[in-house]
Structure 1
């Protein structure tokens, strides 16, 4: 099986709206919801994208299903990002690897996703995008994993996601000309970046 995309879209976005009245993933950028941009970029490269939403978020689920994502609701999403990631992986266990992307990062370009998928297809166990800016080089998201790290990924818990796996293992850094790997939507002004 080819690589699959895992789109994490189950967070509550409390930094964006502490009262929980506005779902940041459904806020428009150029008239298109944030999460739709993120999903389209994955779908442009990967034949299969599993989108993880939180239970009760039918609006986000409907947007993603209409694009062709396999949508699955994670009952444990509030326990942290790791729960959503593990949930998504369990729905795509037959893939040869995974590109794990965040629903609130709509500016990641399809070329970056293709480069990460290509690195894993060519033998990298972990591929991370790196962007050079005035401050030097910075790692960003998404991150691609081969099957080698599946046991570690499935054992994750809490809100740190796979950060520890990336930190503690050999990583193939993929240079990209894509500042979108560093830009997420955490607050309303981020929509204007």
Structure 2
């Protein structure tokens, strides 16, 4: 079965693109959602996070104390790398386990990850897709969605590789700028991927 990585900067619309693939019967592994889950449910990962960032990393209810973690890692590259070194291998392992649950007749699957290239997880995939949109469009989408300022969106964007850098590593491109139908672009790629499996 072919494994396709899919990524895009904040506000690019990669989740919407993934939902179109899902409508076509293609399973999608949402790496960022899984990461949030296993930071709570994986006892080894929990121990590692507590050892690295203190017992305040978790609330009494067992939930992750996002505010505490964010304060430590947000503007500290070394601490962020420490967190990623704990979380990324656990997510890679979860992806491998998830693959085993997919029926053999499914031609390909998608791994959606905001940090597909930054984390190196694109190396676990056979091909990769980048979803892009103009910067101004992405900023406006995130402002509308999250109720944040343009400056706050740009601060989050600065933590990721630029579309130009990602484009050098991606095999396929979906442009989500409202000038071309995203559905038609997805259908085109869907047929290409099915042909690759024949």
Name the TM-score, length of structure 2 as normaliser: 0.28
Larger strand percent: 1
Please say which structure displays the higher CA radius of gyration: 2
Larger helix percent: 2
Q: Which has the higher contact order (CA 8 A, sep 6+)?
A: 2
